[in-house]
């Protein structure tokens, strides 16, 4: 095997692979990437047995076709330190070492035979549909921060995707919750799709966000009972799904939150963030003291002190309620408009948060006690 490839293309592909490969794998082959060079293409494959990621680099110079595997993290570390735009020459020699050469640098990387790499030929059904990459990325970003870290409730450790119908229009709806907060976002579909509800694991979510950040085009989605496949123009991501039943989230959406506070988004976000600075981990409750013309935000930390800030606002009620400041910052950071709406009931009930510029997303945050 012998080929040449551009440094930037190879670095980007290896960077994607890093998100899949486990840092401490008990199987050495799972620390490796599979490199396949043929017909002016280089295909890189990475897997942890739950997620398979395949990326194709086109228009490379292939002098001799072939396959091998080598340690992903070491190759990535070398490639990212080579000057941007440089040509990298790679040759698999007789001693089963991959020689990487660029300018005056030469490295010989240990390899494991490609025959040991666990690649399966996944047979997905014809239940496939197309979605714009920016729409899918929107759903993921609006929900990923609400995914639970509690491994005992594995069914909350991902985003729940399902098809919904509102006013005879079809939507792909995404939901995530850690039982303290919930994100719900949907995008309109051109037509009804044949798509069974799924729970997409956290690792897959973040890997998908990474590759979608640098991609603008269609994503083809197809799923079978236990796996899902995302196809982009030069990448394929296949993932196992979480086996479990997602809770009935509809019944959690507040129905009686009639006390509405609308405020400038940047002003609100910056104020909460500033006041929360008194608490190192931002887990202390930020207390809302609402009166007719003002919102006072305050945080009191036994170790570091206290802080408060008052904002002029229009509100027709008196209310005192506290929230985890990190939860509010997470939500506010994902809103696209100029305003944020907070709909309250009482100090023991969750707040319903909306973006007036986005009717397809809502957020629910539980108050803190005491």
Tell me: pLDDT of 168 over 90.
no
Query: Which CATH entry fits the domain spanning 130-221+239-251: 3.90.1150.10, 3.10.150.10, 3.30.70.260, 3.40.50.720?
Result: 3.10.150.10
Superfamily grouping for domain 255-365 = DNA Polymerase III, subunit A, domain 2 (3.10.150.10)
For residues 262-284, give the mean pLDDT.
Answer: 89
pLDDT at 195: 87
pLDDT at 279: 84
Class of 2-116 in CATH: alpha beta
Residues of the chain with CATH 3.10.150.10: 2-116, 130-221+239-251, 255-365
pLDDT at 125: 67
pLDDT tens for residues 5-27?
Answer: 999 999 999 999 999 998 877 88
Tell me: pLDDT of 124 over 80.
no
Tell me: pLDDT of 120 over 90.
no
For residues 57-82, give the mean pLDDT.
Answer: 96
For residue 60, what are its two tokens?
């490379």
């Amino acid at each position: 095997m012998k080929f040449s490839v551009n440094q930037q293309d190879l670095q980007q592909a290896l960077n994607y692979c890093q998100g899949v490969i486990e840092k401490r794998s008990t199987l050495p082959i799972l620390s490796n990437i599979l490199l396949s060079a043929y017909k002016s293409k280089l295909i890189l494959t990475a897997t942890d047995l739950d997620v398979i990621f395949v990326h194709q680099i086109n228009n490379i110079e292939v002098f001799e076709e072939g396959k091998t595997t080598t340690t992903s993290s070491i190759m990535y570390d070398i490639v990212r330190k080579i000057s941007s735009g440089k040509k990298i020459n790679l040759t698999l020699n007789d001693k089963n070492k991959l020689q990487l050469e660029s300018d005056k640098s030469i490295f010989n990387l240990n390899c494991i035979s490609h025959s040991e790499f666990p690649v399966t030929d996944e047979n997905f059904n014809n239940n496939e549909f197309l979605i714009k990459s920016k729409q899918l990325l929107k759903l993921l970003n609006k929900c990923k921060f609400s995914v639970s870290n509690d491994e005992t409730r594995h069914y909350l450790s991902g985003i729940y995707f399902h098809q919904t119908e509102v006013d005879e229009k079809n939507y792909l709806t995404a939901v995530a919750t850690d039982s303290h907060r919930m994100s719900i976002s949907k995008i309109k579909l051109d037509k009804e799709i044949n798509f069974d509800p799924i729970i997409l694991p956290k690792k897959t979510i973040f890997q998908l966000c990474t590759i979608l950040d640098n991609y603008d085009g269609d994503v083809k989605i197809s799923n079978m009972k236990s796996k899902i496949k995302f196809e982009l123009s030069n990448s394929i991501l296949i993932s196992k799904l979480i086996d479990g039943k997602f809770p009935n989230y509809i019944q959690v959406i507040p129905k009686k939150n009639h006390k509405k506070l609308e405020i400038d988004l940047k002003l609100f976000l910056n104020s909460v963030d500033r006041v929360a600075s008194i608490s190192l981990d931002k887990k202390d409750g930020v207390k809302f003291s609402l009166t007719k013309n003002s919102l006072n935000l305050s945080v009191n930390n036994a170790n570091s002190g206290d802080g408060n800030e008052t904002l002029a606002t229009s509100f027709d009620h008196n209310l005192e309620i506290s929230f985890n400041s990190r939860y509010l910052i997470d939500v506010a950071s994902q809103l696209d408009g100029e305003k944020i709406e907070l709909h309250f009931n009482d100090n023991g009930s969750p707040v319903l948060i909306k973006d007036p510029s986005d009717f397809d997303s809502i957020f629910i945050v539980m108050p803190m006690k005491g």
